[in-house]
Structure 1
Amino acid sequence: MRTLGNILWHFPFLGFINAAITYLIGLLFTVTVVGAPLGLGLMELGKFYLGPFGRAMVRDSDLEPGAEIGLWKAYSWIIMILWFPFGLLLAAAMVVQAFLLCCTIIGIPLAIVVAKATGTVFNPVGKRCVSVAAAQELQHRAALRELDGLACRPARSEPTLGQPAAPSGSDTILNVRSDDRPAPVSHGPQLSSGLKIGLAVGIPLVLAVAFLGPKLFNSSSPSATIPATTLQPQIQKLAPVVPAAVIAPAKQIPASHSGIPEILDTATLSVNGQRLPLAGLRPVEMPQAAAAARSYLEQAGGVTCEQAPVGGWRCVSQSKGLDIAEVFALSGFAKAAANAPDFIRNAEGMARENRRGVWGAS
């Protein structure tokens, strides 16, 4: 079953790609030396991904109690503390991923692997990939120590993996006499000192990074923190340095025009050489309407034109105070456009009803 699980893990779930990526990331951390404790754990996780159904991740301290040097253990604690926020987020994401994979039924084998690797992703420092049999042996030894504690017996002195265990003198665990056991080897002082050193160095380091890190990053890019109110006077001071000949003056259209109009068509006037489409009108192809509109403008005299909200221009006769577009629509000189206001449409309706201008010809 384990072999079948490993085959399914690699095909079709492509677990070997996951193993290669994890191993390369761990190798990169290890090459940096600074992240070696983290990188070694990730490399072991990459080995685990090669055969997850026949292997397990355990702690180095369970395999070789007391084998770590106090300085290395203290530094590992520092790396562990720095990795904690990232590991917490990754572990939470993996828990959600495993749950979703279980919901798909077909992804249950993949969910099992993700669940087994979650603990190592949360804290890869000091982790080792071993076979399932070795992991079970470590659990068996832990059970023996628990039984000794319940029976108020001295702790057992157990060999590391790969070394033969000392004979117990009995076939059962509970019948072993405490007199036959060798003296226990205590590693408590070394572990506690490493823990104290790691906490003493790691906690101030984390606090320093948390408080001083933003200031260091902000100081490297001061332009990102300068407010706009500070930059505005500087821009205004630098602006006159640019030669005026280099900058072409922007062409501005006046908001209003006044003068004697010329008719370009029955919906467009020209005032002071500026083409002004009348708002809400569309021209008609009728020479008589154009001639009548031109005659009316000659009698009206000057006009004042302003931009209309709907687009185009609203021109008013200076002598009569009438809207030129409304007069043209009421006389049948032009038709209402799609965006024409209501008074233009009403004027067109009256011209159609009385058959004036273009409406009389049709």
Structure 2
Amino acid sequence: MSLILNILWLFFGPGIIAGLLWLLAAVIMAVTIVGLPWARACVTIALFTFWPFGRAAVDREDLTGREDIGTGTLGTLGNILWFVLAGIWLAIGHVSAAIALGLTIIGIPFAWQHLKLAHVSLFPIGKTIVETEVADEIRRRKAAGILDRTRSA
């Protein structure tokens, strides 16, 4: 089912346009040199935008179990700067597209994908894209870890 929805998203939905715009943003960021950390995030989101069904964005630290430059303090500072300069506006664009698509019955699955993209576009540094099953397992592990800490306290 994810394959069919991804094909529809890419060719009949906003997938190709949104993905190309994210790639354009990556090129603009890379050209500025200062924007290189955000260029990587834009490419990650572009690839997610081209094929969103059956995939989800997760923190790299949750996936790997260790902190890196994008999941640490520098990543947080980069995400705050991104949020102020671009993230909020990109998220508004994705939410607007989700509302427009959600008004139609056939566009509801596409609206959900735009909401996923809005979420990741707010704070993209330190995120990675994984299959939905992997993301669900990460969420289960985090929930179990939280439950274990509350039991031992």
TM category, shorter? 0.7 to 0.9
Matched letter for residue 35 of structure 1: G
Secondary structure at 1:34 match in 2: coil
Q: Distance in 2 between matches of 1:121 and 1:51?
A: 16
Q: Distance in 1 between matches of 2:18 and 2:83?
A: 22
Secondary structure at 1:41 match in 2: helix
Q: How far is 1:43 from its partner? A: 0.9
| Correspondence for 1:125 | 125
| Correspondence for 1:176 | none
Matched letter for residue 42 of structure 1: C
Secondary structure at 1:129 match in 2: strand
In the alignment, structure 1 segments of 5+ residues that lack a partner are: 154-362
1:178-257 matched pairs, under 5 angstroms:
none
Q: Distance in 2 between matches of 1:146 and 1:74?
A: 23
1:13-28 matched pairs, under 5 angstroms:
13-28=13-28
Q: Runs ≥4 in structure 1, deviation > 4 angstroms?
A: none
Change (3 A) 1:69 1:52: closer
Q: How far is 1:82 from its partner? A: 1.9
Is this contact kept in 1: 2:22–2:42, CA < 8 A?
yes
| Correspondence for 2:146 | 146
Q: How far is 1:5 from its partner? A: 1.0
Please say which structure displays the higher CA radius of gyration.
Answer: 1
Secondary structure at 1:151 match in 2: helix
Q: May I ask how many residue pairs the two structures share in their alignment?
A: 152
1:27-106 matched pairs, under 5 angstroms:
27-30=27-30, 32-69=32-69, 73-85=72-84, 86-106=86-106
Change (3 A) 1:60 1:76: same
1:157-196 matched pairs, under 5 angstroms:
none
Q: How far is 1:69 from its partner? A: 4.2
Change (3 A) 1:81 1:109: same
Q: Distance in 2 between matches of 1:40 and 1:135?
A: 21
TM-score by length of 2: 0.84
Matched letter for residue 79 of structure 1: G
Secondary structure at 1:121 match in 2: helix
Identity of aligned residues (%): 35
Q: How far is 1:20 from its partner? A: 2.9
1:186-335 matched pairs, under 5 angstroms:
none
Q: Distance in 1 between matches of 2:143 and 2:14?
A: 37
Higher strand share: 1
TM-score by length of 1: 0.38
**1:34-86: CA deviation from partner (whole Å, max 9, x where unpaired):** 2222221111111112221121111122122333149x844333322222223
Matched letter for residue 26 of structure 1: A
Q: Distance in 2 between matches of 1:67 and 1:110?
A: 33
Q: Distance in 2 between matches of 1:32 and 1:56?
A: 29
In the alignment, structure 2 segments of 5+ residues that lack a partner are: none
Relative contact order higher in (CA < 8 Å, ≥ 6 apart): 2
Matched letter for residue 148 of structure 1: D
Is this contact kept in 1: 2:80–2:123, CA < 8 A?
no
Secondary structure at 2:41 match in 1: helix
